[in-house]
Amino acid sequence: DVQAVALPAGKNVRGTSLQGFATWPPVQLYQEALVTTRLTHLAAGGAYIAAAGVDEHPGTQAMPVIWLWHTDPWRFAGVLSGHGMPITAMAITAGGTTLASAADDGTLRLWPVAGGPPRLWRRANPLPVTALAFSPDGSLLAVGYGDGSIEVRAVADGAILAQAPLTGAEPGRLAFVPGPEPRLAVIVDNAVQLWAVEDNAVRPLATLPAESGTNTERRIADVVVSTHGAWLATVGERVQFLDAATGGLLHTLAPPAGRGGYFVQAALSPDGLYLALLDTNGLLQLWAIPAA
C-alpha cells in the first residue's frame, strides 16, 4: 500500500488557547517512498518521529522495521530492524535518545537513537506487550501486557519498580502525565484511567469519559498527554482533548474532509507544537497545535 506522510510546510500554526484548535488545518500531505511498508505504530520524542511496520518488498521475506525521521530540519534518519515478530508497541524518550519497541513474542528492545545495538529485555514467562510509555525524564518505562498487567521498569537496568494488578482487559495504550507525582494514563475497556505510580505499586485514581459508540472504529485507540500535563487527547474516530484534572471536554478534532479513515495512533512532539496521527488508511498526518 502507498503510504502518505504529512510534513511541516511553512511556519508553525500558533494560538493562545485551545479555542484555536477550530482553525488548524493539517500541514501539507505528500507521498513518501514507503510503498512497500505497511505502517502499524507511531512514536515521537526529541527531534524524532518513528513509524513501525512491516517491509513487504517484493521478492523478500516480510520483515518488521522501524522508520526514523529527524524533524529539525526534516530528513529521513534511517531504519531499525532486528525484531523477528511483528512490532506491537513503541515509545521514544522525551529527549529523543532512546527508542523502546516490543514484538509479538514478548521481547523488548531499547535502541540508542543516535546509533548502536539495542539492549534486549526478556521475561522468564514472555507475554505479548500491548503498550509502552517512557516517563518525562526517561528514567522509567511502563510496560502493558496482554494479560492486563502493567509493570514500571527502571530504564537503566530493567529492574521492575512497580506493578499494577490485573485489570481483566489488556491495556491498549499507556502515557505518563507530567507533574510532581508520577501518573499513568491507561486505556482499558474504551475508557482512559488515571493511575498513580507509587513504590512497588500502581494505584487507580480516576476514569475519564469514554468515546461513544460500540464498533471498533469508534473506540479509543490511543491517548497522548500535553507536554505540561494540563490536557490529554483520546484518539479514535475523532480526537477529543480533555482537561487532565477534571476530564472536561476542551475540543474535538475530526479527520480532514474527504480523507476518510479513523485515527488509530498518535504522537505529540516534545515541544507540544505538532500532533502526528496515523489512520486506518495508513495515512500519516502531522497537525500544528496552537501553543497553550
**Could you tell me the sign of the dihedral formed by the alpha carbons of 221, 197, 108, 3, in that order?**
positive
> How far apart are the two ends of the chain, measured CA to CA in Å?
37
Cell 526534516: give the residue.
74
What SS3 class is residue 66? strand
What is the pLDDT, as a whole number, of residue 156? 93
Q: Which residues make beta-bridge pairs with 119?
A: 110
Could you tell me the mean pLDDT of each successive run of 10 residues in the chain, 292 residues long? 30 29 36 54 84 73 82 81 86 93 90 90 81 92 88 91 75 83 80 81 75 56 85 87 83 72 78 80 73 51
**Triad 269, 195, 202: Cα angle to 5°:** 115
pLDDT of residue 218: 57
Rounded to the nearest angstrom, the gap between the alpha carbon of residue 181 and the centroid of all alpha carbons in its chain is 21
- The C-alpha angle with vertex 85 and arms to 91 and 47, in degrees rounded to 5, equals 25
The angle at the Cα of 16, spanning 13 to 19, to the nearest 5 degrees, equals 85
- φ, ψ (nearest 5 deg) of residue 97: -95, -30
C-alpha cell at 214: 460500540
The sheet that has 119-121: what strands, in order across it?
87-92, 98-103, 108-112, 119-121
Sheet-wide strand order for 222-225: 222-225, 231-235, 239-243, 249-253
pLDDT at 109: 93
